[in-house]
Amino acid sequence: MDLPTIWFLAVAVLWTGYLVLEGFDFGVGMLLRVLGRDSEDDREVALGAIGPVWDGNEVWLIAAVGAMFAAFPAWYGAMFSGFYLPVLLVLFGLIVRGVGLEYRHKRDDRTWRARWDAAIAVGSLAPAFVWGLVLANLVRGLPTTTSAPGPGRNTVVTASVPDLFHGYALLGGAVTTALFLLHGAVFLALKTDGPVRYRARRFALRAVVPVLGLTVAFLTATLALRDPSWTTGVAWTSGLALVAAGAALLLGREGWAFTATATAVGALSVVVFGQLYPQLLVSTTDPAHTLTVANAASAPYTLTVMSWVAAVFLPLVLAYQAWSYWVFRRRLGGARVAPAGTDGPGAGAVTAPR
């Protein structure tokens, strides 16, 4: 396996890690006022569940974008210039969400906190939808041109903003938003106790079927864009993982349910990048403009140096993040848990607050 292919896999892994880990953060943010209702204590519990990890999860985005910039500069330049406004919306959402998470506690005022809660919800919704939109456009392809003739030319995306909002792209945005909502709800059911856990589990059970339908529709459309390959099996894995998540929730096994939703999100990302390879940015204007792993990669020396750096520091980063999740593994909230055996197959589930 050559270095460009290895770094394509590395970029895909980093994006997959970002979508899986930041996905439940986005879901919790979008559900904050839904599951927190009118109780400030419940909202504090929900935010406390992601408090120790949300900023660490964003590091995966920085690493993914940095790897793209260093390993595939032509891909980085074409993608982020072509998606300039959508990516700007993502950055705005991430900034607003981050400020909201820090500033809502600065004043003991109900209106102040309500406004920041709304900012957290919007700041979570925007990137959840836009990343699905962007990934769908990458798989489907975009109109392009070149900046100049010759070997030093750069691929330039010529799509306007309305061109990005076609049916398949909107479906991509909808499926990532729906998956993150479910992922976030299952995470809260796993990490909290009391009313938040009860509401999150109930929301997740109701959401499984609609999310499964959206996911199957998007994966079917994605597989139809390219000749079926090994990604078909991964697509089945994503759908079956959502079925398993529903079954685990019915049995009161939130840990297995969270593993299943994480698998569903991860498998969806694998399908997207698997459908791309060996292409990076498909040109619908002229196949000669298509960026591939071979023609968009950095020089071999650059990739070699990057490989040594990654081999040294990546295990340290992964170990630190795994340790932080282990340290903050306990549930948050009250102990209003039903005695074992009183909730049928969901024994141990939290009793309804009302």
pTM score of the predicted model: 0.89
Task: Please provide the distance, in angstroms rounded to a whole number, between the alpha carbons at the two ends of the chain.
Answer: 59
Closest C-alpha among 317, 261, 326 to residue 52: 326
CATH entry, 3-325, from 3.40.50.300, 3.30.2420.10, 1.20.1630.10, 3.40.640.10 = 1.20.1630.10
Residue 82 structure tokens: 């072509």
Torsion of CA 267, 272, 277, 281, to 10 degrees: -160
Say what the pLDDT of residue 40 is: 87
Residue 313 structure tokens: 């520091």
Closest C-alpha among 284, 11, 2, 290 to residue 153: 290
List Cβ<8 Å contacts ≥24 apart for 241-247.
241/267, 242/182, 242/208, 242/211, 242/212, 242/215, 243/208, 243/212, 245/182, 245/186, 245/204, 245/208, 246/205, 246/208, 246/209, 246/212
Domain spans, the chain: 3-325
The pLDDT profile of the chain, 354 residues, written as one tens digit per residue, is 799 999 999 999 999 999 999 999 999 999 998 998 778 889 999 999 999 899 889 999 999 999 999 999 999 999 988 999 999 999 999 999 999 999 998 888 889 999 999 999 999 999 999 999 999 999 999 998 886 554 446 788 888 899 999 999 999 999 999 999 999 999 999 999 889 999 999 999 999 999 999 999 999 999 998 776 788 889 999 999 999 999 999 999 999 999 999 999 999 999 999 999 999 998 898 888 889 999 899 999 999 999 999 999 889 888 988 898 898 888 887 544 333 333 433 434 443 333
Say what the pLDDT of residue 228 is: 65
